[in-house]
Amino acid sequence: MLHRAIDDYWHVVAGVVEDGETFAEAAARELREETGLEAPVVDVRMPQGYRVPDEMRSEYLTGVNQVAIENFTVEVPMGWEPVLNEEHDSYKWLTRDDAVAIAHWPETKEVLTVLAESTA
């Protein structure tokens, strides 16, 4: 889990799909930018979405009310540690239950729970 420095919450690698990118390309780019890890991402086939909260509307383009999310996993090499960018000031390796307990976004809690149950 990554700690978002300015907003003071815990979450997973995430970001916006840029023009011309697929969700997978965006996931790999965000992983590289936020942690320094260059690795293939695997689509877990669990699309999600959320309604843009009123208090965050200024952070989205005019007219964007819903956001689509695609979720990916990545295999991390043994002993690897992230090199965080300026967005984050800390990270933690956690069990599923501990990650779910501190995850800020409900969609993150849901995907972590479902993925852990499917690999158990």
pLDDT digits (tens, 9 = 90+) for 48-106: 999 988 888 888 888 889 999 999 999 999 999 999 999 999 999 999 999 999 999 99
DSSP β-bridge partners for residue 69: 48
Domain 2-43+71-119: which CATH number of 3.90.79.10, 3.30.300.30, 3.40.50.1260, 1.20.1260.10 = 3.90.79.10
pLDDT digits (tens, 9 = 90+) for 6-56: 999 999 999 999 999 999 999 999 999 999 999 999 999 999 999 988 888
Domain boundaries defined on the chain: 2-43+71-119
Is pTM beyond 0.75? Reply is yes
* Arithmetic mean of pLDDT over the chain: 94
Please give the Cα distance from 84 to 32 (Å, whole number).
Answer: 10
